[in-house]
Structure 1
């Protein structure tokens, strides 16, 4: 299981996701460009003392990320408000790569179309989306529950 963040905008959200991933022993891929300089004070504050325990790989762009994934293929599971499968109906696998879009724009169509599985978190009518860090925690938790935390 891995988490990938596509062109994240907000350092605090990335820091929160890195902290969550470190707690669960899940590696994180950051797909640049990011909307903040790496090492930003807000990012450090959100990671707190978990920074050393995290496994983070940075990719210069989407093409670089795909090239790296070709060496270690995984099913790409996209969290999206345009998802075809409700989280409760999704079936996760231990080697899944959970992809989350940027806070402001999500992912472009070519990234959306590349996903092997698109998952949405069911919400009350009239609500658009959750914070990306909250979404990552919810989806990661369900994926880990289903796979019993099996490492990739």
Structure 2
């Protein structure tokens, strides 16, 4: 099972959207406090639609609490940051890896990034754009990790029904 880790997320809509993505991919969501919202807020549930009750979510008091409760993450934890020198497509992600993203206003603290520099990854962007939306960034990196693992148990095929077109709308 893949793992998304949000360090001090601030916007309930982003976390709700990320939660929905986690449900759709069978991914566990880890939230590290402080959160910029309450987990029972309408905005988070609205963004997560009716999937929020299906979400596998864990909450931690701080970064050290997360590490203490997830020792298997050490050496299997990637840090998404605009400061990385390595592209998000370069690591060989394991099927049980952890992908961490920082809060919307500041990202992951510099001291965490410096201590884990070999595991820092970046999504390339044009020019001087500061960053992408958090929910979009999570989707990009998560789906690369899933692609590398042949999408695990995700359903790879839809069911397109062919309609007979008779030339009329």
What is the rounded CA distance, in whole Å, between the counterparts of 2:134 and 2:109 in structure 1?
16
State the Cα RMSD in Å.
Answer: 1.5
Larger Rg computed on CA atoms: 2
SS class of match (2:99): strand
What is the rounded CA distance, in whole Å, between the counterparts of 2:104 and 2:68 in structure 1?
24
SS class of match (2:45): helix
In structure 1, the partner of 2:56 is: 55
Q: For the Cα contact (< 8 Å) 2:10–2:37, is it kept in 1?
A: yes
In structure 1, the partner of 2:94 is: 93
What is the rounded CA distance, in whole Å, between the counterparts of 2:73 and 2:88 in structure 1?
23
Structure with bigger RCO (C-alpha 8 Å, 6+ apart): 1
What is the rounded CA distance, in whole Å, between the counterparts of 1:44 and 1:114 in structure 2?
35
Higher helix proportion: 1
Deviation at 1:34, TM superposition (A): 0.6
Q: For the Cα contact (< 8 Å) 2:87–2:123, is it kept in 1?
A: yes
Q: For the Cα contact (< 8 Å) 1:94–1:149, is it kept in 2?
A: no
In structure 1, the partner of 2:126 is: 124
Where structure 2 has 5 or more consecutive residues not aligned to the other structure, the ranges are 154-169
Which of 132, 135, 138 matches 1:133? Answer: 135
Figure out how many residues of one structure are paired with residues of the other and give that number: 150
SS class of match (1:133): helix
SS class of match (1:81): coil
